Amino acid sequence: MFHLVAALLDFYARMYFGMLMERQGEDDVHDCTIKLRVNPKKRRDKVYIGCGAGFGGDRPTAALKLLQRVKDLNYLVLECLAERTLADRHQAMSSGGDGYDSRIADWMKLLLPLAVKRNICIITNMGAMDPPGAQQNVIEIASSLGLSVSVAVAYEVSVKESGISTYLGAAPIVKCLEKYHPNVIITSRVADAALFMAPMVGSGF
């Protein structure tokens, strides 16, 4: 008798929970489609960002190939700064030399003509300890090439005597993009990811 009651209870329990699960399956239809956030200020549907340099010793010819071959390129990032190169620039500046990466001249002479022609913004941290100095250098180079360019800078106030500097994020780069729509943005010490995140945020993503 006990086994019969237990079997009946098990039977009805299975029926009940089976019906419950079936009903839940009907009622709880989940839409797994990922929907992108809609931003009314979004300037474009896709953003194409090329990385033309990953360290201070990279060759500018590789960046030039990106400009020549990637049809939809919007931004070209030149990431050339590290703790060692920042220290080198501070030492050079303390000795009366350039506080920015002096190779920026070689890069800009090669890249600016095509970047300006294609309206591709170059974003680089080659400003190191002296982004305003790098800005002036780039403007002079552009002038010598017969180009009229807008060059913006994003940097923190560093303690030049000791070389103390802080990492910046994407926010000041985004501000430059939104306010000036420049051909070139030169930064001081920023997080590597900020160089790539800023154009995405600035485009409305």
Reduce the DSSP state of residue 50 to 3 states and report it: strand
What pLDDT sits at residue 16? 57
Min mean pLDDT across 6-10, 143-147, 153-157, 181-185 is at: 6-10
pLDDT score of 18: 60
The pLDDT of residue 175 is: 96
Digit-coded pLDDT (tens) for 50-77: 999 999 889 999 999 999 999 999 999 9
C-alpha to C-alpha distance for 43 and 47, rounded to whole angstroms = 9
From CA 126, how far away is CA 189, in angstroms rounded?
Answer: 9
Encoding tokens for residue 80? 């050339």
Q: Which of 61-70, 86-95, 176-185 has the lowest mean pLDDT?
A: 86-95
pLDDT band at 152 (very low <50, low <70, confident <90, very high): very high
> What are the φ and ψ backbone dihedral angles of 29, each rounded to 5 degrees?
-90, 115
Is residue 154's pLDDT more than 70?
yes
What pLDDT score was predicted for residue 56? 86
The two structure tokens encoding residue 6: 């237990």
Q: Which helix (H) or strand (E) holds 49?
A: strand 49-53
Q: pTM of whole model > 0.85?
A: no
Residues 123 and 63: their CA atoms lie apart, in Å, by 12
Question: Checking DSSP bridges between strand 184-187 and strand 121-124, what pairing results, if any?
Answer: parallel
Predicted pLDDT of residue 146 = 98
Distance in angstroms between the alpha carbons of the first and the last residue of the chain? 69
Distance between CA 188 and CA 169 in Å, rounded? Answer: 11
Find the mean pLDDT for residues 24-43. Answer: 66
Question: Is the predicted pLDDT of residue 125 greater than 80, yes or no?
Answer: yes
Asked whether residue 47 carries a pLDDT value surpassing 60, the answer given is yes
Q: Is the pLDDT of residue 187 over 60?
A: yes
pLDDT higher than threshold 70 for residue 20: no
